[in-house]
Amino acid sequence: MSDLTDLTIEEAHALLQRGEVSSVELTQAHLERIEAVDGLIRSYLTVTAGQALDQARAADARRAEGEDTPLLGVPLSYKDVLCTRGVQTTCGSRILEGYRPPYTATAIEKLEALGAVMLGKTNMDEFAMGSSTENSAYVVTRNPWDTERVPGGSSGGSAASVAARLAVASLGTDTGGSIRQPASLCGVVGLKPSYGRVSRYGLVAFASSLDQIGPLTRSVTDAALMLNAIAGHDPRDSTSMNVEVPDYTAALRADMQGLRVGVPREYFIEGMQPAVEAAVRAAIDQLAELGAEIREVSLPHTDAALPVYYLVAPAEASANLARFDGVRYGPRVVAGSMWETYRQTRGQGFGPEVKRRIMLGTYALSAGYYDAYYLKAQKVRTLIKQDFEQAFEQVDLIACPVSPTTAFRIGERIDDPLQMYLSDVLTLAVNLAGICGISIPCGFDENDLPIGLQLIGPAFGEEQVLRAAYAYEQSTDWHTRVPAL
């Protein structure tokens, strides 16, 4: 029997279906590997062993009754920014230490209804603000390919847990690249669905108009299976679209005949690591081999995406994080008077990056500055969105890099916030436009560090993105390589 922690969802389902393995065995195998390996990787903040085995038993019982769906009994990990009833949810922050939500996020509820098993909650940059997971107030997660390096962020724990085979798949979140970039740095598949495709109810908000929940998986098929499970309208989320959820696996085909792929010149930026550029260009050539028509496109306002993002997102975040005052939940630093208690609770409970962004956002919205900063940024955002709309009149997909570099060393960028922000430059615009994007493995650099290819599709165009990703994946073996752990 193959190693029980070396399976995709598809493969696990097949074994469960044939009765060759039980969910309890599958879950147990993962819990054991977490014990053995996660002391080094530190992808999990909370491991819910007891609950996981209970869920696994329940799944096995359902299967015995004749139920059989792809996620039934499959053990998953969830980024700690997603609320799980009764289970600690910290968002990587001390200000939520010990917090147990009284409800569960819709996306997780849907997975649980399908019988999926929760192994635990994964580490992340505090409140999803960061690109390396170094901003976690708890631990620094290590990249399974090189433990001196970052896994990327903010869904670093999720990406690492999948890459290190400590979960079959994971749910992460993406506000400016936080699924795609860590997926790229960890050599796994990461999908950011279109804004409104997946309910945000239960996702602790960072930037309300940009956040989306999405899967990190070992294969494109798995990403499609996860998207099938979590997508759909939610009456509790006024920004979720009432659009039918197709069977995303039906879109997967081994070729790219008839697909037009745009390559944006602005995305091959100066300072990009040569190996990254080479791998991505080779991947694009491969797409052509598979039958795609490659064209050059232009996204003229690409340069503006960074300042727009770093004004809009912190502005929304500054309000979203105002509820963290220690009054109703989270540790409170009592300091004499009520206002001083507020200041100390927040001042001590939030880490430096979060405080920096709250200040930036507060400034951008403050009297006298709103027009020049926030409003201006929202107008330029419209231009960025229009860039994509115009491009998608010419092509069905856009292909480009995910990150200008492969995984950098822990500690390398943490002292220069602006430098850290630049890691996101190739992923931000997708969130600003509300469209979908996937990162899939497309090679390795000279240090054996993974490189990701980004495929971007129009709003609710996940089918063609998944199709192209699948075709590419099946024509290479990048996705079969695993870190030597």
If the CB atoms of residues 281 and 356 are measured against another protein, the closer one turns out to be 356
Q: Which of residues 290-319 bind another protein (CB under 8 A)?
A: 301, 303-304, 306-308, 310-311, 315-316, 318-319
Give the DSSP letter of residue 396.
S
193 binds another protein (CB under 8 A): no
348 binds another protein (CB under 8 A): yes
3 state SS of 231: strand
State the catalytic residue, choosing from 77, 131, 154, 158: 154
196 binds another protein (CB under 8 A): yes
- Exactly one of 286, 332, 445, 461 binds another protein (CB under 8 A); which one? 332
Burial 394-425 (b: 16+ CB within 10 A, else e): ebbbbbbbbbbbbbbebeebbeebeebbbbbb
- Helix or strand (DSSP H, E) at 443: strand 436-444
Q: Which of residues 376-415 bind another protein (CB under 8 A)?
A: 376-383, 385
Q: Rounded to an integer, what distance in angstroms lies between the CA atom of residue 456 and that of residue 257?
A: 17
Decide if 79 is catalytic.
yes
Burial 17-46 (b: 16+ CB within 10 A, else e): eeeebbbbbbbbbbbebbeebbeebbbbbb
Smallest gap from residue 287 Cβ to another protein (A):
27
For residues 83 and 204, is the Cβ–Cβ distance under 8 A? Answer: yes
Tokens of 171: 């749910």
| Site track for another protein across 224-243, x = CB under 8 A | -----------xxxxx-x--
138 binds another protein (CB under 8 A): no
Q: How many residues bind another protein (CB under 8 A)?
A: 97
Kindly report the length of the chain.
485
484 binds another protein (CB under 8 A): no
- Contacting residues for 126 by C-beta, under 8 A, at least 6 apart: 91, 92, 93, 135, 136, 137, 350, 351, 353, 354
Decide if 155 is catalytic.
no
359 binds another protein (CB under 8 A): yes
* Nearest Cα residue to 214 out of 436, 444, 481, 468: 436
94 binds another protein (CB under 8 A): no
| Site track for another protein across 66-85, x = CB under 8 A | ----------------xx--
State the catalytic residue, choosing from 22, 23, 77, 79: 79
Smallest gap from residue 327 Cβ to another protein (A):
5
337 binds another protein (CB under 8 A): yes
Positions marked active-site: 79, 154, 178
